[in-house]
Amino acid sequence: MIGTERLPQSADSQLASHIFGFIEELFPICRSITGDGLRQTLRHVAARIPLEIHEVPTGTQAFDWTVPREWNIRDAYVSDSQGRRVIDFQKSNLHVVNYSVPVRKRLSLAELRDHLHTLPEHPDWTPYRTSYYRDSWGFCLSQRQLDSLPDGEYEVVIDSSLEPGSLSYGESVLAGESAGEVLISTHCCHPSLCNDNLSGIAVAAFLAQALAARPRRYTYRFLFIPGTIGAITWLSRNEDAASRVRHGLVLACVGDTGPFSYKKSRRGNADIDRVVLHLLKHSGRPYNVRDFSPYGYDERQFCSPGFDLPVGCLNRTQHGKFAEYHTSADNLAFVNPDALAATLRFLLEVFDVLEQNRSYLSLNPRCEPQLGRRGLYREIGGFPDAEVRELAMLWVLNLSDGKHSLLDIAERSGLCFDAIRQAAGDLLKNELLMPLQLEERI
């Protein structure tokens, strides 16, 4: 195995608790697509990895979109005639519809109801609602809370502001040997919600940390951006960087205990699609794969036809496919430290394959070389995987005609990439292969 699979169990469980600890640290912050909660979150990320925080002013045009006014909130509540807070933003930031305009008024329960959101099918959960591009206000609460409110007059206060400011996003670039880039993007605009989306933020930050400590053929660019408008804004200002993206992944909902679920890029057969599928297929564990659709996370923007970047989306349980999605039940108890660590390990395997995938030329293309003479055939007696190693060498020798990469060979042979890579390494040591120049079309 590769990546952190080699780590002893104690280091692995330590990693799991560190990733989970970062989620705990970020959980209380009231995030949105703009504002101080988002900035504060980016500063927490910046404390762990080198991160440039960009501020794009309100009103900036980004293709067909405009950077909105900045939203900030200090307090919000609904109080009864005795002045008791019956809905309180201080208890949970989900209680206020995200991007609510400021309000201060008295209303009857009947009038108030038009602004209240509940989930009758889960009477103890509070829903998460937003109103980014339409001036309105509202509160979210559990059905049980709503049912307990007596008729009467209520005071409604939302101490928010919606003013010219900026949209913040974070960018971390780990330079590699080549200018070809790997893009890893995660949205960071949800308030106190864990799987969607603190799991993506935390795993991306730890992934950046792990990759920073490794030699890199590719340059890695991590984006911590507000959903939709953040990706659109980034793309509108970074068309050059976008043109250098060779492989990419959007990370979201990666902390629950469900099996991995992968959404292919719009191209459908990009190397990132092939590598993720190859590793899932050889993992021996259940997984789901779906084709690209223009609905989901920011792969929608990266895979819009004017860019058509090779960017897939990795989840565990897909958004909308778990009952806790966009509710108060997507909390710290819903994400699992070991699942977070396993996601990180899987991602390191993915990038390990991408880093090591290349083409070779057989230096002995006329009939098979005599492997036994070189100690490569049946010399390694006693190893249960000797047969696989020999088979892998025969495949690598046969297909190393300059037209096939190691990933091509792994796919065609049905053997795992790691076996093919090791075989190529053994053949290279014995001067039976020559590495071909890495092709980088910039």
Binding site for Zn ion (CB under 5 A): 196
Q: How far is the C-alpha of 190 from the C-alpha of 318, rounded, in Å?
A: 16
> Measured from the CB of residue 127, what is the shortest distance to Zn ion in angstroms?
12
Q: Is 388 exposed, middle or buried (0-12, 13-18, 19+ CB in 10 A)?
A: middle
> Measured from the CB of residue 204, what is the shortest distance to Zn ion in angstroms?
16
Closer Cβ to Zn ion, 70 or 196, answer by number: 196
> Measured from the CB of residue 227, what is the shortest distance to Zn ion in angstroms?
7
Closer Cβ to Zn ion, 196 or 256, answer by number: 196
Closer Cβ to Zn ion, 30 or 245, answer by number: 30
Contact call for residues 171 and 54 (beta carbons, < 8 A): yes
Query: By C-alpha distance, which of 258, 438, 262 is closest to 335?
Result: 258
> Measured from the CB of residue 299, what is the shortest distance to Zn ion in angstroms?
14
Closer Cβ to Zn ion, 256 or 426, answer by number: 256
Query: By C-alpha distance, which of 14, 40, 47 is closest to 26?
Result: 40
> Measured from the CB of residue 361, what is the shortest distance to Zn ion in angstroms?
48
> Measured from the CB of residue 287, what is the shortest distance to Zn ion in angstroms?
22
Closer Cβ to Zn ion, 180 or 230, answer by number: 230
Tokens of 258: 């469900």
Query: By C-alpha distance, which of 58, 54, 138 is closest to 103?
Result: 138
Task: Give me the residue whose beta carbon is nearest to Zn ion.
Answer: 196
> Measured from the CB of residue 329, what is the shortest distance to Zn ion in angstroms?
14
Closer Cβ to Zn ion, 130 or 160, answer by number: 130
The one-letter code for the residue type at 320 is: G
Contact call for residues 414 and 346 (beta carbons, < 8 A): no
Tokens of 120: 């009758």
> Measured from the CB of residue 325, what is the shortest distance to Zn ion in angstroms?
7
Q: How far is the C-alpha of 363 from the C-alpha of 368, rounded, in Å?
A: 10
> Measured from the CB of residue 379, what is the shortest distance to Zn ion in angstroms?
56
Closer Cβ to Zn ion, 181 or 196, answer by number: 196
The whole-angstrom distance between residue 269's C-alpha and the CA centroid of its chain comes to 20
- Give the CA count within 13 Å in the CB-facing half-sphere of 225: 27
Contact call for residues 4 and 40 (beta carbons, < 8 A): no
Q: Which residue has the tokens 């660019």?
A: 221
Contact call for residues 123 and 143 (beta carbons, < 8 A): yes
Contact call for residues 37 and 30 (beta carbons, < 8 A): yes
Contact call for residues 330 and 324 (beta carbons, < 8 A): yes
Contact call for residues 149 and 174 (beta carbons, < 8 A): no
Closer Cβ to Zn ion, 322 or 351, answer by number: 322
Query: By C-alpha distance, which of 200, 191, 184, 188 is closest to 335?
Result: 200
Closer Cβ to Zn ion, 196 or 352, answer by number: 196
